[in-house]
Structure 1
């Protein structure tokens, strides 16, 4: 399926809209503060409460610094030094960056990441974690290539350690097995857990540049879409140099 060209602003809008449509109610204020911490390089002052917030910060890093993968890498590695972040967050940030660059190719992404990361030895807290993550990514690709169902992908023999136990591997499985539809990706992933749904949805939004029309565009969802668009517009304006983030304070 040919992808319609989407602007960077559209991709920024789609990413934050995706997160807000998937996250718990009243998450927009916290989301904005997490985005601002990335823009202002003030992540060190944040108190990240859980892995979901780590994912949000990684997504923001990938989006805001998408033009320079070295900057993406250095900022996620810095995040590792002061939080529970690890190589999974780096893979997530890379996927977002590739999507914003319009270079995300579903059939090639995992092989690209594994080829790049396997040549580096300081992307995780230890080499064992890095190797394990890359192995899980390759397993996700194998399952996608085989057309494996969600049940098969997550209920394989635990004695063989061949399940998609890593959040990023599961998130990519949902994205790569149905890359054409944000709604289908997130609906499937939500049955797994919230973090995986948010990660897969954000990656899909960066890739597709849209979330499509929500199934139920009621007043609540309309406000969510509006807020996501405003956050995307603001981040794009800061990125483009036409908005001073300090002026809003």
Structure 2
């Protein structure tokens, strides 16, 4: 947003068109800024709420993992005088692993689209990617590759311990994309998600409901990864946060 506001003050905004290389002007109006702001926040919160839904679903199925998350929240609040601070949120390392594992199993964007910048021959194959060719990268396929993630159907936050992350190729985890085209809302989403979980799990425990499936089916009509139909999760009020 700061960058867009800066462009708004600059009377000479130009850019080079990707395909033609021609220099074109860019008129950054108040209406354009408002539209971009709406897109950032609307789509950002949509992705966050979908991810939190899948995460709570897994916590309901895995009570031990839920207890570990709650214990970490309690420790963090005690350390920071019962206040939710930015540093306290960033210190929630186990919750970070749980969020990462949720996005591995349920990446909001199940495939990425990129355009090649040059001719590239894929090693050990007869396949060649031509320049300017559109490429679809299956994020869901990579995240469920047993060679990268053994027993990929199992929810295991320890996949994202520092040593396990270090042992994997950086392209083996792509919920936010990678490189210049990565999601600009990554840090925003991670902070907001953690704040929501601290607020929620300090007051409620989540448990399976009668109609909660043990395996999620996805809606093929949605452009993002979204469950088919609906199911409920039981929220049980905590008598004391312990």
TM over 0.5: no
Give the greater-gyration-radius structure (CA): 2
TM-score (norm 2): 0.27
Higher helix share: 1
Higher strand share: 2
The one of the two structures with greater contact order (alpha-carbon pairs below 8 A, sep at least 6) is 1
TM-score (norm 1): 0.26
